[in-house]
Structure formats: C-alpha cells, structure tokens
Structure 1
Amino acid sequence: MMKKVELLEDSIEFSKVFTRAVPKILDMLDSKTILDIYEAVDLLTTGYIFGVEGMEVGMQKMLLLVNSSEKGKRDSVSNAYKKVFFTTNLTGRARAVKIIQNLLRFIQTIEHGNFPTLECLIKKWVSTDDMDALIIQVLFEMFTMKIEGTTTEESNLALELLVVCSSSKASIASANLNIIVMAGFGERGRRNPRLYAQCLQFMMNSIDHNANPKYYERYDCHSSIVTNVFDMFMKFFFQTLLPEFELVATKTFEFFYTLCQRPHILCQKMVVDLLGDMLKTIKKPTVSSASPPSASQSMSSQPLLPSQKKEDETTKAFLLTRFLYIIGYITSKELIFIDVDVYNSMKHIQELEGCELIEKERSTAEPQQEPDEDLGTSADANIADLIYEIYEEGLVNDKQSLLRVMIKLVLRIIKNPTKFQSEHLQCAAILALVRFMCVSRKFCDSYMQLLIKIFINCNNTSIKSNIIISLSDLTLQYPQEMKAWIGHLYLTLQEENEEIRLIAVKIITKLILQEMIPIQGKMLKLLATCIIDPSVDIKNMTCQFFKELSTKSNILWDILPEIISNLADTDVNTSLPKEKRRTIIEYITELIDEDRQIERLKEKLAMRFRESHTESQRSDIVYCVALLNCKNEEDEEDLSIIYEFH
C-alpha cells in the first residue's frame, strides 16, 4: 500500500515538474536545431495526451510549424496531431465518436487565427481517408442533434468540421444537400445567422473542383432555395443585434454568384428592395414612450426630442454602413463573375462556333488548303476586349448603371465627415470606393488623389488601416499605374500608431516578395528601420522578410549599400542614432554569407564611400566592411579599398 502511495506522490511531483518545464519546451519550438524541435513536439504531444496542465498552449504554438518551409518540421507536427486525435484502442463507431471528441476538445480551445492552419491538416486527413465515411456520418448525426445529449455548441462545431471536410471532398456536401437546406434555412438558421452562413458555404463546397469547375448546374433565380436565402437575408439586414453581419452578407452574395443563375439580377433586386425598406425605416417617426401623442395629434406633427433625433441619426448610420458594405462587396463579386464565369461561358460558346466553322472550312477547302488556325486566337482576343469594356465602361462609368448612382452616395459621405461622423460608416464608404476603383482603371485614376488625401488628413486608426490594405489591393490590380503612389505606402511605416505600422509592414513585405512593387534602397531604408521597432511583432516580421529576401538571387547585397547610405541621410528623414544604425547593419550583413557576394559588396561599398557626403555615412560604410572582413578571414586588408578614396 505504501508503495502505491509513493508512486502516486512521485507521479504528482513529476507532473508539477513537467508543468514548470513547459516554458522551456515552448522555447525549443523556436530553436534553430531541428532535433530540439523534434524533442519539443514529442514532449508536448505526450503531455497533452496524458492531460498535463499547460499543454494546450504548446499544442497551439505547434500549429505555426505546419506552414514551415522545412519538410521535416511539417511532417513532425502533422504526425503529432494525427497521434493526438486518432490514437485510440476503440473500433468501429466508438472509435469515430472518440476521434470527433478529441477534435472538438481541441477546437474549443484554439485561437481564431490558428484555425486556418488546422483546416489544412483536416483537409489532408480527409484526402488520405483518415477522416473516413464513418466519422463523417457521426459528424452529421451530431450536427443534426440525432445523438442524444448533443449540445448546441457541439452541433455547431460539428458543422464547422463538416464544412472543412467538404472543401476537400465535394461529395460530402453534394450527397447531403437536403440535410444542409433543412438545417440552414429552417428555424435553426433563422435563430442562428452564423449557422445559416456556414450552411451556405457548405452548399458552395458541393462543387467538385476536381471534375470541371467551369461548368456546373446553377439554381434558377426563382427556385425555392434561392427565394428562401433572399428573404432570410432581407430580415437579417435589419437585425440590430447581429454581430457577424459581414460574415452573413459575404456568404449570401458568394452563394448568389457561385450557385445561382443571373446573380446580377438577384443582387440588383436586393439593392432596390433594401433601399425601399431603408427609406421606410428612416422616415418612420420615433416616438418617446415618456410622452405619447394625444388622439387628436398626429405622430408626424410632433417635434422630435434631442434623444429621438440622436437615435434616428444612429439608425441611419447603422443602416447606411451595412448597405455600403454590401454595395462594395457586390461590386467586387460582379468583377470576378464577369472576369471568370462570363468569360468562360463566352469562350465555350466561341469554341462550339469555332468547331462548326472549322468543320465547314474543311468541307469546302481545296485539297492542299488547311483551315485558318488563327481563328481561336483572334476569338479569345475579342472576348477579352469585350470583357474589359464591360467592367471598364459598363459597371461604374455608365450613367445608366445602378452602381453609378451608388458612387454619388459614397462620395457624399466621404467628402462630408462632419455630417457623417460615424467611424464605421466612413470605413464602409472608403471600402466601397476602393472596390469601385478596383473595377475601373479610369475610375481609379480619378479618385486616387482623394484616397491619399483622406489618409494624410485622417487621424482614425481603423480608417487609415483600411486605406493601407486598399492600396495593396489596388497595387495588385494595377501594378504599373500604382508605381507613382508607392512612396505614400512606404511612408506609412513611419506612423506613430503601432497597429498601422504592423499592417504596413505586412502589406509592403508581401508586395515586395511577390515582386509587385519595385525595390528601392531609399525607400527600403524605412523598412530596415523596423528591425529596431519597439514592437516585437513588427521587429520579427521585418527580420523574417529580410531573411526571405536574402534567399532571392542577389537582391539584398545589391541594395545594401544604398540602405546603409540612407540610414544616415538627413534628406530622407531624421538620422537614426549611431547604435541603432549599427544594429540594423549587423543584422542585414549577417544574412550575406557567400564569398562572391561579399567581395562584390565590398566593391559597391567602396564606390558608395566615395559618393558619401557625411561622416555618419562614411562611418557606417567602414563599419559594414569591417563586419564583412570578419566573415571572410582570408582577406584582412580590404579596408584599404575604402581608405584609398578617403
């Protein structure tokens, strides 16, 4: 008996020691030594299986390694999660239930930002049949609450898993459309807008992209399913207590443009109906319960109290914000629909007509004469020109267009911030304006100056953040036209607000790595200063960017001399202190490790030294050469290269 007690005491003590070691184990996940990472993953996995306190944090951090560029790390983490979720001695249905319970337990604690990474793992398990048909069946039973004791939360989580699984295997959705429709568009969907939105995504996943994603059956505009979705959204639009309106709106219009015939007709009808209902709601007088009107006095004749006026203004801003959001989103979906779906349909028709024409030419051609092979090429060019004309001239520039009318409303709100003071309304208006700009190059040129002016004069963090993201979208759409405005994007790195700087770093580094914006040493200096940013997130993201840039050909050593010169160039901005400049130089120099690059870089630095104008610039260049000499011990005399220009 004493031995059992001692064993239990030792087990408890071991558990406490293990828990205290968790921070060290988490640090091992960031180690540069691959074996340390393997050991940390194994320890965290074993601790989680045995229920050791604090393992949930480690299991979430492990998800970051799923997207690692190193295959060994990815496989190690993938196998660890598979072990955690799928290891059980049970068989048959009991095994399926246990696996689902393991998944749900983990999903309940996962951070929202980590869920997309988990989705990648789940899709992989579906494709390899680790998530087999029996598990899918039990998930459906849990979703429809056929399993006794299933809670509403478990049912919703089961739906989330089914949506993820169906994105990997379309038959999971296509074989169960009736179940999805009954749950999503019935009483449960009306009470739970998020469930309604997820069911819409579930239905969209029924398209088998492995077969022929260009051509598939769509619902008629007047079908009962489409009518039901239309009516439900019209009611959701006016629900004030709807925290996830953007999700509901996004999925609704995605459903229209993905699964419905003539989606533009549906959206036009919805916009017109919403406008009518909004006008009725706004014009409807607000009456204070404290002072009801007399029988002889009409409600419209009563003067509004200040509190009533404020309530009316809040209602107007609330409805306009939602309305502008869907207007902007419809615009972007219409662009994609024309560019992809309409283009594919027109091309398909041209191919059929081309086949008939070629057959006709062959039947009438002379024996040595071949049919014209350029027919297909010219037809494609004609289609592309027609499509371009539609969204360049027809969507936002045609005076008869409904969107053209909406543009006037958007511009009125943006140009009158004192009258329309709601932050959310201004954000929605700017987002709508940018989406209009993405449709038409001509429209973009007309209002780019306005967008930059708003950014410069605005002090609102949310609005400025949205404009930075918008500049990224416009750069992807019109890379050549946006070159003249890239300097404004770089200048956002100097914003005082940390959130704005973080978004700016994310956007700029992504565009540079995608080769969407030119790399200029003078502007890249602003990005280099983020290496010493007080924010850990900004610092880490910038360091990671320069690491990736160092792997791309000779880009880094080619622009390093210009970066170094500009760090102390007062013409660009106030010079950085010497210690901070050297911290930046040390980090970037450390990334250059090829002897050939080092030698050529020294030559460039020597030329830059001769052109330098200040002692600070010369000092930084000499310091950089000294660091390079430390990396290349064979040559210790290279400082003479610089001194000969002194």
Structure 2
Amino acid sequence: MWDFLVPVCVSDLVKTGGINQYVVQDVVSPKQLPSHLNGFKAALRSQGPLCILEHFDTCYSKGKAAGEGLLQWDSERETVLQALIQLLQLDIRSLWSLSLVEEEFISCVTCCCYKLLENPTINHVKSKSTRDAIIHLLGVQVKKYNHLLGASVKVIQLLQHLEQLSSVCAQAVAVWSTEYGVKAIVGEVMREIGQKSSEELAREGSGVKAFSSFLSELATLVPDIMIPNISVLLTHLEGESPSMRVAVCEVLGEVLVKVLSGDGLDESGKADRDRFMDTLQEHLHDVHSHVRSRVLQVYTRIVNSKALPLNRYSEVMGLTVGRLMDKSVNVVKSAIQLLAAFIAHNPYSCKLSSADLKTPLEKETARLRELREKLQANAPVFESYGLENMSGHYGYTGGYASKKTSSNLISSVPMCSFFSAGPDQDVSENREDLPLTPQKEGVEGGGKDGVEDSELKKQEMLVQYLRDTESFALQVEAAIAVINSMLYWKTTSVVQEAVQFCVTVCEFSVANSLTGVRKMLPLVWSTDATIKDAVVQAYRRLYLNPQGDSTRAKAQTLVDSLSELMVDASLGTIQCLEEIVSVLPFSVVQVLWERFTGKRETSSLHRRAAVLLLGMAARAEREVVLSNLDTLCSVALAEKVTEDFLLARDSVITVCNITDHVRQAKGAPFRLPQDHQLFTCLTRAIAEGVVMEDPHWQSFMEQAVRLIYFLAESPDQICSCLLQRCSRLLLDQIAEVPAVSCLSLAQLLSLCGCVAFWQVSHLERSVSSELRRRRGETEEREEKAKGPSSKAKVSNESSVEEELGLMGASADDTEAELIRKICETELLADENLLCSFLPLLVRVCSSPGRYSHPQLTAAACLALSQFMMISPSVCEEHIRLLFTVLERSSLPIVRANAIIALGDLTVRFPNILEPWTQNLYTRLSDENPSVRQTAVTVLTQLVLKDVLKVKGHVSEVAVLLIDPQTHIANLALNFFNDCGVFNLLLHLCVARMTCPLAVSVFRQLFSYITKERQTESLVEKLCQRFRTAKTERQWCDLAVSLSLLSMCERGLKRLQECWECYSDKLTETGVYQPLLSITAKLRRGAKPQLKVLTGILVIFISHTFSLNLVANPSVSSHRDDSFVTPKPTRKSSKKPVVTFSSDEEEEEEGKSTFWVPPVCLALCFRGNDWCGGWLQSKHFRCHAL
C-alpha cells in the first residue's frame, strides 16, 4: 500500500522517497503539457476525483497562475509595527503566570526593531513613517518594560558600527526623553560616550564621527536635558580626537543658545554660561584647524541668536580678528562669517563710524565730569554715628578712621553704591543696610539731590554705551583692512565671504567701508563665474535695490547711491561699473537728465556722475542718449565748455557709447554727417583750448578725437580742418607775442599724435571692415543674379578652396595690402598735413637741452611714438631716437611713456624692435619707482602675449622681487606666477646673477618650488652651472642657492651624481659651508637609511675640503686669475655603486643604490663611529657601473 506523506514544501514531492511512498515520477514539459491536460480533463469527467491518482504528475506540472505574489513587506511593515505598539501599550502582564512579562518576549520585539534600523534605506524620506513607528515601539518598551539600559547600550553599538544612524539615534533618544518622560536615557548614553578613552576612540574609526554627529544632533533637540550630564563630555575636550572636541563645543553652543540665554537666568545659570563661554574661547586657539573653524561657526550661531552677553563682545571680537591671520582657509572663512554676524546683529547702532562717534563721546564725557563735580560739591557731611556701619558695609575693619579717610569715604558714597551693583542686581538693594542719611531722605522725598543722582547714573550709562560702541567700531575698522586684502585670494570661497562682508559693513556705514566695495569692483572681470556673480549681486544689493515710498523716491535714492560711487572714480572703476549697470528704469534716467541739465541744484561732481551713468544706460539702449543728443551738446559742449573740460570729457565718453564700437552692427555702420552740431562743438572746444592752460584739456581732446573717428562721416577731413585751425591760432599767438608758448606747442603736438594714431586705427578697423561688408554685399547680389546652373558650377569650383580654407583669404589679403599701402605711402606723403609735423617732433625730441619744458618733451615723445605706429619705415627710421630718449631723459614721465609706446611698437613691428630687447629690460633697474613699475607691467604683457622671450633676462625681473616698493615686488611675483616659476628658474640657474642680493632673490623664488621632480631638476642645473662659473663669487652663490632649496631624497641622489661638477670647488669655505648645511637639514627627522646616505656625503665633502687645503693651501689666493675650471688630473675610472640591502628585505625592491666618488670610497670601510655599526649589520656590496 502506498503511503502519502504530507511534504514540508512542494519541492519534496519530486524527491525519491523510501519504499511504498508516493512521489512524482515525471515532470511534463511545457510542450507536452496541453495534450496531458486534455487527457486529465477526460479522466476527470469519467472517473471523478479518483483520476488524480493516475494523473498527479500532470497536475504537479501545471503551475499556478501568477497572482499578487508575496506580500508587499514595505507597505505591511508599518501596519505590523503599529499593531505591536498598540499591543504593548495594553496591560499584558496577565498573559504570563507570574504577571511579569518575560525577557525573551521583550528581546524578540526589540531585536526586530534594531534589525529594521540596520536597513540602509531607513534614513530615506519614504521610510519616515516606519522609522517613527520603530522609535515609538522602542519608547514603549523603554518606559514600561525596563529596556532603558538595553536601549542605551544598543544605541552605542549602532553608532559604533553604522555611522549613518547617528541622526536616527539622536531622534530616538530625544523622543524617549520628551514624549515618554525617560530623561535618564540621555544621561546613560552621554556617560557611555564620555567614558570612552582616546585609545578606544582611535580604534573605532568611523564610530567617532557617529558619536560626534549624534551629540550635535541631540543637542539641537534636547539641550536642556543634556545640561545635568554635560560634565561627562568635557573630558573629551582634552582628548586627541578633533571630531569629539567639535561635538562637545557644538553641544555647548546649543545649550548657550537655547537654554542659557536671556536676562532671566539665576546665579547658577550665569555661572554655567560663563564657564561654557570660557571653554569655547579657549578652543578658538585649538591645535586643529577644523576645531577652530567649527568653534567660530558655533559663535556665529550664538551671535545670530543674540545669545552672546554684551560684556563678551569686545573680547570675542578681538579673538575673531586674530583668526583672520590663520593659515587654514576654512578658519579664515568662518572668521569672516562671524565678523559679518557681529556687525549685522550688533547691539550698539545701525551706523558704526568711529569718526562720527568721537564728537558725541567727548561731549557726553565732559557732561558726566560736570555732573560728578557738581554732585561731590553738594555732598552732605555724615553724622558720626553712621561711620561704624559704613565701614562695615564697605569692608573697613579698623576701629577708627582718620579725618582724611572719613572725608574720602563720605565723598565716594554716591558712586560706590552704583558701581558695586552686579549686572542684574538692583542698585537699591545695596543701600538697604545704609543708615538713613539726608541724601537718602532726599531721594525718597523726590528732592533735588535724588534727581541729580538719577541723572548721574543715566549719564554714566550713556557714556559707557558710547565707549563700547566706539571700541566695537574700531575693531570692525581694523578687520576691514585685513579682509579687503583677501578679495584677490585664489580661494573662491574666501573671496565670496570677503565680498559679502564688504557689503555688510557698507550697509552699516562703517568708516572706510567704501574702500572694499571699490576694490572688489574689478572682480566683475574674473574668469571664475562664482566670484563674478557674487560681485554683481553685491552691487545690485547695495546700489540697484533702493528703498522708498514711491517710484520717484526710489529713483532718487538709486541715483544718489550710484553718484557717490562714481565721484572721484577712476577710469577702471567706471569700466567695471558699466559691466554691472546696464539697464536703468525710465524714472532713473529721467532723474539723471534733470541732474545733468541743472534743473535740480547739484554739484559739478554729481553732474559728471549723472552723465556717465547715462552713458552706461546707453550701452543697452542707444536712444537714451541719441534722442537727447542736442540737449547734451548745448549743456556740456556749448559756449561754456572751456569752463569745465571735465564735464565735456565725460559727456564725450557718454556719446561714445552710442557708436558701433560698443555693439556688433550687422548692417551699414551708424555715423553722423560731418556738419552735425556735435562735431562743430567738439572742434570749436578743442581749438579754443589748445591755446589755454587748462590741465584737463588733454584728456578731453583725446576723447573728442576718438569720438570723431568713431561717429563721424569722413573723420579725416574734420581732423584736417581741426589741425589747420589750431595751427593758425598758435601762429596768431606767435605773431602777437614773439616767444612761443611751450604749453600751447605741447598741446598742438599732442593733438597731432592723437590724430595720427586714430587715423591708422580708423583705416585698419573701420575702413577695412566696411570694405569687407561691401564685398560681401556685392558677392551676395552676384549670387542672386546668377542662375541655378551657374551656381552649381561655382560651387564645384569653390569646394576645393573651401576645404583648404582659402575662400575669401585672397580678398582679405588684398584689402590688408591696400590699407598697408595707404599707411606707408599716403599718410605721411608731402601733400598730407601730418607730414609737416613730423620734422618738428624729431627736432624737439632730439634737442632736449633746447626744448627743456617737461610737458613739451613728454608730448613730443608720445606723439613721435604715435607717428611711428603708421608704417615700418617711419618706425625703423626713428627707433634709435626713441630709445635714446628712453635712456637719457631726466624726466621719469618721459621714460615711462616711452616704455609704454615701445611696448605697443613691439606688438606692431616685432622684427624691428627685436634687436632692442635688452634696452627694454634695462629699464627694470631704473632709479625711479614709477618707471620700474611701468616697465615690469609692460614686459609682463609682452611675455604673456608671446611677443618677447624672457630667456636670458630673468635675472633682471627676479631682482624686483626684493624691490623696496611693495607694489613693484608684487608685480614681479605676478610675472613669475603667470609665466611659471619653475620654467623661469631653469633659465635663471644659467644666468649671471651678479646682484649682491642674489641670495635673497633665490630664497624668494625657491619658496614656490614644492614638487620633488622640480627640485631634482634644479639641483642638476645648479650643479652643471659650476662648470661654467668663472669666479669664486659665482661658486659661492651657486652653493648658497643649492642650500636654499627644500632638498628631498631625489635631490640628494642628483647632488651625489653631479659630484664631479663641484668637488674641485670645495676649497672655498663659501662653497663648503652651504653644501654642509644641506646635509644637516636632510638629517633632521629623516629615515635611518636617508640619514646614512647623508652622512656618507658629509664625509665626502669634508674629506675633499681637507685634502684640497693640504694639497694647495694658497689656491684661494690665485683663484681669481683662473677663468677656466682646471680639468681633473686623476685618471677616469668607472663609478662604483654601493648597494645596501637589509637582512629583513632580501628582495630587489628593498635595495638602495647610490653613486660614491672613487676617491672617498675607502672611507666607508674604516668603521667610522657614525656608520660603522650600521654597515656591519647590513649586506655591503660594491660593483662598477
């Protein structure tokens, strides 16, 4: 008989069972299953249920239709947890015999909860409901089922192994302590963490970060519950873990913000607050930069929450200013944030200017002094019976007091009672024990003395407030100077914080705050988009978001703020503002026109600012100025133009913004006719000013000529008439007065040079672009006129040219050749007006003794350089004269202008200027600082543009690194940074540094070499330089330069390999001592093996030095007569190689190989004290290379 055993699972039916057991013998394949199912259905109709005995294999093979599948655990899990919470909240003790819930049941539930917390997705937002259910389920067990100790231990374990659960655990502990009232669990967990030693924390690794995050998070949730047990955490402040120190400081910060703040603290709370504040202040100087940074952030939160006591403002402020000098970028950034918070939430004033506070402080101090003198003069004499009580109250223990002592005591009573009061103690409490005096009676009765005493107290408080405010303002002003220097740091985050700080101090009207706002303006050209956006947003916040009740008031405020920024602004500042101020509302434009035209009474500075702001608006919308061009001419360029050339100049700059020069024009260029009122006014103003002695005419003339060439039709004709008119005026002046005015002649020559320069620019830019535009239009018309067949032929013929990139190149070359020919043959032809001025310019420049007027000489030199820009032939003809002026002129302004002009000529005609390159570099050593500054600036640009090669002239630039002028040294440093310090040093190593300060130069440059590969290469270059050095001074400089390098192991090996380069120079003490100092620096803190290699090199150097002294004691006296390093007399031999390998490391990678000079190889075998023991314990082998 068959036995059918109930299987545990379905798959057990296919297993071979014992005898007389029913099993599935054959599983039908899917292809055969339909026929078997049909047979099963027929058997079912005929036999009924018994057919299963014969067709069970078929039924087993037919699987169940796919249904809902397994339960969706994620959706059902929360339901199960909620059911468990409801169950455990009931009184289930009766389910057990002893009415005590078994520990196994509680462990089963808690283990499930902790297992669920280990799910990696438990922190996700979608798991919030499940996470909250687990926390509440554990909370019920902690409260009702004595799970407090187990929960605290489990929390620590979870933190040790799962760092991501720090936030969940903090939330759980907070819920258990607040909603379930189990506050003891906070103390248990804190004690568990506090008892961990530094060694345990070091072993746990990620657990330390989890503890730190847990404590910080818990402090934000339940800071008041943590206070009783916070002392157990303070031990970690002395530990080695920076993360734990940060956590404890953040806990203290949260407690100070949320618990120990406000005026309602008792004495115990104030003591705790002061103790915690002291602890935080100590860790502003923590050894770890991360701790210092986070403590500053804690203070920022305290200040933002207005929880910092007033008496600590000055001290914390001073410490924060000191942190601006920190080496860590994060600390500096946090310090800037804290200073900004101090200013934004300061309790003193919305206007923090020490200059404005000085006058009221002096006034109120004088009034306080008068009140004190008046009150002391009216002070009554105390009766004798009150002295005993008075002495006891103020601490006088003597039985008697002298008459003088009693008098002093009595006169001090009115103020002693005031100053003895604590910060929160009523002054009247200190007077309760005093005997009844006439003064007290007066107060109680509302007498005159009581009123004066009250006024004295108020005055003292006012004076103290003003003193604190002034002290705070002075600290802020000291911080501004430091932070302004950070605006150009390479760290983007620091620059952003510095920009925000400048905005904050400007909003609070701090003295010198506008300096930082203007200094950060050039950052709008920064290549870093983050910095550029920060500056743009800062200026829009300060100047483009005005406050006001009406549109008119807002426009007026915006114009006032922008005008203040424009006053005395440089040309660079104006250009930067143009990048920010583009679109101005119509109401603002209307106010600007009113201010410019004088409808509203305003100063000349604000009128100039208004017209420049209109020009900025015209860059975006041309009609802003074009529609009012006649008004602008009549106001600024009419008859009164000679009274204010500055306003005229700024008006011309504004009009320039409507030209095609500032925008891309697709069609015909926008130009005005020759007879337009604008050009009539400009030519009249220039002509009238040429014979005047106005210092601002020059700048106006330059801008006016520029505008004529940008905006006028046929500008060459206008300028030709202008030159003739000015020349006639000057000749008329000469006819009246025989002696010509040097200033008028200088201004005429400046006008000639300016016209020549812009004439060339007009030809090469405007005329050339117009020729290309017209050619393009002609080709386009021809293309339209051609038929389809001809177009196909042309396209086939031009395909090869397009592939080679020659399409249009021949036409461009033709146009360029035409422009070049005009410049070469026509501009300075005999019939051209400019030609008549060139001999005069040459005569003035070549006769400095006869024409010694400074302005005339400067104008002639600049004009000559502008004439030389016209053609290569003119440049080549007068280049020697210009360099002669550069070298021999006694006027620094002439030399500086000559350098700038020669820089432009070098870009335009590099082949002509190439032989004169050395003369340009010579100006780097000019005696005048302004000339040196101009020279290094021009040469830096030429080198960066790859016009000049710096090779062979690095030493001239390097000397400027130690220039007494700081700004010149900074420019030289920028030169090396932009061009690459290391690449230039390779050339500098082979240059002749004859400067006495060569050592200082190398020390400065070598500080920027940080890579071992670069150090190794420099060591080799310097050693090779010994072969070509001819004097002892050069040997010493090279040796000192080697000693200034941050030598590494690779550099040491290279120094050993180049032994033959410098070994014969070791007779000089100036070579021997620096090389010996290299080995001394290498042995400090080096590995044992490196120490041995260094020690061997010391023996080689010392032995060679002593041998040379013995062999040739007078060699140093005859060294100067030898200009060639003598060849070594010893026979060449193969270089032995000493290989060291330790007993413990027999593999190839454990070996260390270095080259040993043959002459000193025997020294290694003498058993020297310093290396003999080491050599005896190692394998020592020598083989030839």
Q: TM-score scaled by structure 1?
A: 0.84
Cα deviation 1:357-395 (Å, max 9, x = unaligned): 555665784975647536733222211111110012211
* 2:586 pairs with 1:105: no
Alignment pair present for 1:394 and 2:813: no
2:673 alignment partner in structure 1: 220
Between the aligned partners of 2:757 and 2:887, the Cα distance in structure 1 is 26
Specify which of 9, 19, 31 is matched with residue 474 of structure 2: 19
Question: Match of 2:484?
Answer: 29
Q: CA deviation at 1:14?
A: 2.6
Query: Is the alpha carbon distance of 1:60 and 1:206 closer, same or farther for their aligned partners in structure 2, counting shifts above 3 Å?
Result: closer
Distance in 2 (CA, whole Å) between partners of 1:441 and 1:214 is: 33
For 2:991, the equivalent position in structure 1 comes to 566
* Partner SS state of residue 566, structure 1: coil
Tell me if structure 1 keeps the 8 A contact 2:692–2:744: no
Q: Does 1:645 align with 2:645?
A: no
Structure 2 residue 767 is matched with structure 1 residue 342:
yes
Give the aligned partner of residue 533 of structure 1. 963
1:39-438 to 2 correspondences below 5 Å? 40-63=498-521, 65-66=523-524, 70-91=528-549, 92-108=551-567, 110=568, 112-113=569-570, 116-117=572-573, 119-126=575-582, 129=583, 131-147=584-600, 149-187=601-639, 189=641, 191-207=643-659, 209-212=662-665, 215-240=668-693, 242-285=694-737, 312-313=738-739, 315-358=740-783, 365=790, 370=795, 373=798, 376-396=808-828, 398-438=829-869
| Letter aligned with residue 939 of structure 2 | I
1:594/1:125 Cα in 2 relative to 1: closer, same or farther (>3 Å)? farther
Shift of 1:531: 0.5
The yes-or-no answer on 1:497 pairing with 2:914 is no
Higher gyration radius (CA): 2
Structure 2 residue 864 is matched with structure 1 residue 455:
no
User: Structure 1 residues 150, 539: CA separation in 2 closer, same or farther (over 3 Å shift)?
Assistant: same
Answer whether contact 1:320 1:425 (CA < 8 A) is retained: yes
Q: Which runs of 5+ in 1 are unaligned?
A: 286-311, 551-555, 569-574
Contact 1:44 1:59 in 2 (8 A): yes
Alignment check: 8 A CA contact 1:93 1:134 kept: yes
Q: 904, 910, 913: which is aligned to 1:479? A: 910
Question: Which stretch shows the higher mean deviation, 379-388 or 34-43?
Answer: 34-43
Q: Does structure 2 retain, via aligned residues, the 8 Å contact 1:38–1:76?
A: yes
Alignment of 1:511 with 2:936, yes or no, is no
C-alpha contact 2:638 2:681 (8 A) present in aligned 1: no
**Deviation by residue 1:123-161 (Cα, 9 ceiling, x = unmatched):** 3232xx4x43332222222222333x4344322221122
Deviation track 1:292-342 (CA, whole Å, cap 9, x = no partner) reads: xxxxxxxxxxxxxxxxxxxx53x4312211111111110001001111111
CA distance in 2, matches of 1:326, 1:348: 31
1: distance between equivalents of 2:769 and 2:503? Answer: 48
Per mean C-alpha deviation after superposition, the further-off stretch among 221-230 and 71-80 is 71-80
Q: Distance in 2 between matches of 1:232 and 1:635?
A: 69
Structure 2 counterpart of 1:120, one-letter code? C
Instruction: Label 1:34 to 1:359 Cα distance change in 2 as closer, same or farther (>3 A).
Output: closer
Residues 369 and 517 of structure 1: is their aligned pair in 2 closer, same or farther, counting only changes over 3 Å? closer
The worse-fitting range, judged by mean Cα deviation, of 354-363 and 418-427 is 354-363
- The aligned counterpart of 2:39 is none
Counterparts of residues 487-636 of structure 1 (less than 5 Å):
487-520=918-951, 522-550=952-980, 556-568=981-993, 575-577=994-996, 580-630=997-1047, 632=1048, 636=1052
Cα RMSD (Å) of the superposition? Answer: 3.0
Once the 2 structures are TM-superposed, how far is the Cα of residue 20 of structure 1 from its aligned partner? 4.3
Contact 1:427 1:462 in 2 (8 A): yes
CA contact (8 A) 1:561 1:608 kept: no
Q: Distance in 1 between matches of 2:459 and 2:552?
A: 36
Contact 2:637 2:648 in 1 (8 A): yes
- TM superposition score normalised by structure 2: 0.47
Cα distance in structure 1, aligned partners of 2:860 and 2:910: 24
Distance 1:261 1:597 in 2: 59
CA contact (8 A) 2:636 2:647 kept: yes
Preserved CA contact (<8 Å) 2:709 2:762? yes
Deviates more, 1:158-167 or 1:169-178: 169-178
1:5 is displaced (CA, Å) by 7.7
CA distance in 1: counterparts of 2:778 and 2:967, whole angstroms: 57
Using a 3 Å threshold, how does the CA distance of structure 1 residues 94 and 380 change in structure 2: closer, same or farther?
A: same
CA distance in 2, matches of 1:502, 1:76: 31
Structure 1 residue 634, shift from structure 2 partner: 6.7
For residue 989 of structure 2, give the secondary structure of its aligned residue in structure 1: helix
Separation in structure 1 between the aligned mates of residue 825 and residue 1000 of structure 2, nearest angstrom: 52
Question: Which string of whole-angstrom CA distances, capped at 9 and with x for unpartnered residues, describes residues 384-409 of structure 1?
Answer: 1111100122112x222222221122
SS of 2:1005 mapped into structure 1: helix
Deviation at 1:440, TM superposition (A): 0.6
Distance verdict in 2 for CA 1:623–1:641, change over 3 Å: farther
User: Does the 8 Å contact 1:392/1:442 carry over to 2?
Assistant: yes
Partner letter of residue 544 of structure 1? N
Distance change (3 Å), C-alpha of 1:107 and 1:618: same
Deviation at 1:183, TM superposition (A): 2.0
Write the deviation string for residues 98-118 of structure 1: whole angstroms up to 9, x where unpaired. Answer: 12212223333x5x44x5235
1:295 is aligned to: none
Structure 2 equivalent of residue 304 of structure 1: none
In the comparison of the two structures, how many residue pairs are matched? 595
1:343–1:387 Cα contact (<8 Å) kept: yes
- What letter matches 1:384 in structure 2? A
State whether residues 207 and 213 of structure 1, in contact with CA within 8 Å, keep that contact through their aligned partners in structure 2.
no
Name the SS for the 2:1061 alignment partner. coil
CA distance in 1, matches of 2:459, 2:557: 30
In structure 2, what is the Cα distance between the partners aligned to 1:442 and 1:187? 43
Q: Deviations over 1:459-499 (max 9, x none)?
A: 22222222111111111111222111111000111222222
The whole-number CA distance in structure 2 between the counterparts of 1:339 and 1:48 is: 46
Post-superposition CA distance 1:436-476 (Å, at most 9, x none): 11111011111111222233332222222221111111111
Unaligned runs of 5+ in 2: 1-453, 802-806, 1063-1185
Percent of aligned pairs sharing the same letter: 23
Q: Which amino acid letter does the alignment assign opposite residue 14 of structure 1?
A: T
Give a deviation string over 1:219-255, Cα, whole Å, max 9, x none: 2223343333323332222233x22111221122122
Residue 227 to residue 558, structure 1, CA distance change in 2 (3 Å): closer
**Distance change in 2, residues 1:7/1:643 (3 Å):** farther
Query: Which amino acid is 1:243 matched to?
Result: P
Question: Is 1:10 aligned to 2:465, yes or no?
Answer: yes
> Is the 2:910–2:947 Cα contact (8 Å) retained in structure 1?
yes
> 1:535 deviation in Å?
1.4
